[in-house]
Structure 1
Amino acid sequence: MIRFLILVFYYYLPVGFYIILIYILSSISVNVNNLPVISNDKFMHTLEYSVLGFLFMRAYLNTAGLNHKIRGIFTTVVFAFLLGSFDEYHQLFVPGRVVSLKDILADTIGGFIGSIFYILVLYIRFRKERVYGQNNKV
């Protein structure tokens, strides 16, 4: 029971809070004519969902096990696609927002980048532990 609570609060709660943040930000009406650079929008979508992909991959691998990296990447990409699709649908009802399939693609790519980045962080961390030992902090 304690392990379950640790998993929920330490790994999945940040994912949940970040999803709430995404939906709060996407609920804000914007005037498209006042935006300085529209192409920056795709970068922001990718960056936003990269963080989500990182957090989701962290939660997934710490519950499913570190041997499930490929499945974790696939699950994260599907999760980012579904969440991005739902976010775009949600924006249909927000004044001043425009629905775009390119945004969903940017969200999906962001989820992929975030999951790969988490695996890279794991690799670097385990490599340092192997070189310097587990008790030495570098």
Structure 2
Amino acid sequence: MKKFLWTLPLAYMALIWTLSSFPADEFVALPDLSLDRIIKESLHLVEFGILYLLFALALYGNGQLTKKTSLLFAIIACLYGALDEIHQSFVPYRSATWIDLVKDVIGVTVAYYFVNRFYFLKKNKLEQKL
């Protein structure tokens, strides 16, 4: 059952790849173009943060969440963001920009910060009390 947790980030990566294979307005296009753009651009911050959190969940569920593995999978999530941007550069009506990659990395960094702040800091405090 614990190994099942690894299917979550892998399935999510497949979903990201599939959705980025379509034009940006393929599934949802809001009537207000500026609002549509703002929402879709801000999703970069969330999308890859979620990917890292799914990796962290899989690591935690399998007893493998350490500072080292957390950092490793944060880097993997960032690299997948870069790969996704390269992929989008070949998709008609999609774009790949450095600012999108920066937003992907910021999303991962924020999620990584919270995992490290709330998991490892509390874990260290508990260990010190014992």
TM-score by length of 1: 0.68
Q: In structure 2, how many angstroms separate the alpha carbons of the residues matched to 1:73 and 1:51?
A: 14
- Unmatched tracts of structure 1, length 5 or more: 1-5, 131-138
User: Which residue number in structure 1 is paired with residue 113 of structure 2?
Assistant: 116
1:18 is aligned to 2:12: yes
User: Which residue number in structure 2 is paired with residue 89 of structure 1?
Assistant: 86
Are 2:48 and 2:78, in contact at CA under 8 Å, matched by a contact in 1?
no
Q: Tell me the C-alpha RMSD between the 2 structures.
A: 2.9
Equivalent residue pairs, number: 118
Equivalent residue runs for 1:38-117 within 5 Å: 38-63=37-62, 65-66=64-65, 68-69=66-67, 71-117=68-114
Give the SS at the match of 2:34: coil
Q: In structure 2, how many angstroms separate the alpha carbons of the residues matched to 1:109 and 1:26?
A: 19
Give the SS at the match of 1:113: helix
Moved over 4 A (4+): 119-123
Change (3 A) 1:54 1:43: same
One-letter amino acid of the counterpart of residue 87, structure 1: D
One-letter amino acid of the counterpart of residue 117, structure 1: F
